[in-house]
Amino acid sequence: DRMKQAVSRTRESLEDRIETVLSMTRTVDDAALEELEMSLIASDIGVNVTTEILDALRERAKRQQIRDGEELRSLLKEQLKAILDEQARPPRTVANPPEVILMVGVNGTGKTTTSGKMAAHFRAQNKSVLLCAADTFRAAAIEQLEVWSQRSGVEMIRSKQGGDPSAVLFDALQAATARKKDYLIVDTAGRLHTKAGLMDELDKMRRITQRFIPDAPHEVLLVLDATTGQNGLQQARLFTESAGVTGIVLTKLDGTAKGGIAVAIARELKLPVRYIGVGEKIDDLLPFDSEAFVESLLG
Ligand code: GDP
């Protein structure tokens, strides 16, 4: 299936290594577990999560509860899935449409692309969508979103470049309400003159949204580039601390063998992964499914 294909590079590397580990030793001994530890760290699952998983596996191995490679594989799957599921939350029920989704994150992670893909995703479910081009800082962002709006057959609210993002957001909130849209997707700036400036801007946008629709924004999705691995995680903390992030979109999983970063994100940021980006095309966005993801990761 699509997730399997997309995550196949990760899968090859992680699975191959685990296969090697398992074929090297008939029994699950210390050396085998150490190899596994290295493989997990190499896949960007992170040192903390890896240590936690290995501690549990070593404990079981000591009590001779892991008889062979297959058992080790299924225990590992169970643990990875548990970490991902710990953060799973049912989508919020929206009292009055539109459901407002703010897309945040640094430039180049795929915010604009993901906004466009999401618009198409909701359209395919027969929902009405309005796009808001609130990244008025990056010159090409508005034009780029315009292309996506045409591709997905979704209307877009824009202002000229350099305009006030709060003003365009206000217009979009008004239009989405008046036109009774199911969703309003807001593409925000990933860079301003200063980090503090950017966080203030995002905070202001959240307050405007809230004043307009009391239980909104319903989602603040932080877009992270999977190829930046543990560095991206560092950068993500800044946003989660000040932008009220409710979930993650992990992009460019098609371009990395380090899909383990999804597990690190769930644990370290304590946030659910909502969608994954697996390419540059309009249907290259998949709702996240922990079972399928772990299955893709470990075979
Ligand atoms: P923004 O600055 O955060 O709005 O980022 P963009 O949406 O402009 O995306 C930056 C680049 O990443 C573009 O060339 C996109 O086509 C590309 N991109 C976005 N998502 C994905 C993905 O899931 N896979 C791949 N391979 N490329 C992506």
Which tens digits make up the pLDDT trace of 144-171? Answer: 999 999 999 999 999 877 788 999 999 9
- State yes or no: 232 annotated in a binding site: no
Rounded-to-integer distance, Cα 154 and Cα 158, Å: 13
Calculate the CA dihedral of residues 183, 223, 137, 140 and round it to 10 degrees.
Answer: -90
- State yes or no: 112 annotated in a binding site: yes
pLDDT at 36: 87
Could you tell me the distance, in angstroms and rounded to a whole number, from the CA of residue 113 to the centre of ligand 1? 6
Q: Ligand 1 pocket, 108 CB below 6 A?
A: yes
Single-letter amino acid code for the residue at 253: L
Rounded-to-integer distance, Cα 160 and Cα 135, Å: 10
User: 210 near 217, Cβ under 8 Å?
Assistant: yes
The position carrying tokens 């560092």 is 234
Single-letter amino acid code for the residue at 69: G
Rounded-to-integer distance, Cα 191 and Cα 114, Å: 17
Single-letter amino acid code for the residue at 272: P
Could you tell me the distance, in angstroms and rounded to a whole number, from the CA of residue 2 to the centre of ligand 1? 19
Rounded-to-integer distance, Cα 233 and Cα 265, Å: 7
Phi-psi region of 35 (alpha: psi -120 to 50; beta: other; left: phi over 0): alpha
Phi, psi angle pair for 181, to nearest 5° = -75, 150
pLDDT at 177: 96
Is the pLDDT at 195 greater than 70? The verdict is yes
Mean pLDDT computed over 212-235: 91
Is the pLDDT at 25 greater than 60? The verdict is no
Could you tell me the distance, in angstroms and rounded to a whole number, from the CA of residue 30 to the centre of ligand 1? 42
Q: What is the pLDDT of residues 48-102, one digit of tens each?
A: 999 999 999 999 888 878 878 788 888 999 999 999 999 988 877 888 899 999 9
Pocket test for ligand 1, best of 102, 106, 113 (most atoms within 8 A of CB): 113
